[in-house]
Amino acid sequence: MQQRTIGSRTIGAIGLGGMPMSIEGRPDEARSIATIHAALDAGVTLIDTADAYHLHADEVGHNEELIARAIRSYGGDTSDVLVATKGGHLRPGDGSWTQDGRPEYLKEAAKASAKRLGVEAIGLYQFHRPDPRVPYADSIGAIRDLLDEGVIELAGISNANVAQIDEANEILGGRLVSVQNQFSPAFRSSLDELEHCAKLGIAFLPWSPLGGIARAAAVGERHGAFQRVADARGVSPQQVALAWELALAPVVIPIPGASRPESILDSVRAAELELTAAELDELSGAEELAA
């Protein structure tokens, strides 16, 4: 697979998002494990998770533990796999999402994540979402401390704007390696952040790069240009969407969520799909949604 970088790590250009395997509508564990193993077989070396990827209030870290089990049970070499997790987002168990950006909470959450993942140091740890009740600098200061103390190897942020990217990078002493924001054919308002990351050489990880769990299957229906290019190339519109995102900047590493082996294998093929300049122009100007 085409390779890209996050900090000092070289990884496959398409990652795997673990959230669908642990929240509402999740499959049985056997299918999830099979999905992760299929991704690894296909050359995926970035797996994205978070302690908040769970369904019930008493199963915090469900997805982290699932991914750890899948990696342990994989028959091949996993030494180059980077597991990226996040802290600062919570799910009380009633379907809602809340935030906790307090430094003391983040430090304890990171240590708990490391334990669930079965590692001495987390490969990549990202502040999941700003907490409006806590100064952003205080939250990022906790991430800096975790980095300095060796609890985490690489530091990132998620759901951040351009000003927050710069603030985080300054607090981290230039060691910010990733920004994970929502970005897809339907959601392009993070383009400024993507371009800013490209200027700084910071990896940009689009979450919900196909529009989210409920809409990923309808990329072609909702965005006609992606379907037209897909038909002409004999590939899926999902592959076209991911290839378009990869072409926007060399720092982009999409992390499509998947809960079936077939889904992640289709997504991985996007890393080898080279779109023409004319196709990229058409796709970049196509924001229409079907009624």
Catalytic residues: 53
Report angle CA 45, 48, 51 to the nearest 5 degrees.
140
Q: Give strand pairing partners of 203.
A: 178
217: left (phi over 0), alpha (psi -120 to 50) or beta: alpha
Alpha-carbon distance 101 to 213, whole Å?
26
Q: Token pair for residue 162?
A: 């351009």
Say if CB 90 and CB 52 are below 8 A apart.
yes
**262 exposed, middle or buried (CB, 10 Å; 0-12, 13-18, 19+)?**
exposed
Closest alpha carbon to 135 in 171, 91, 178: 171
Amino acid letter, 264: I
**162 exposed, middle or buried (CB, 10 Å; 0-12, 13-18, 19+)?**
middle
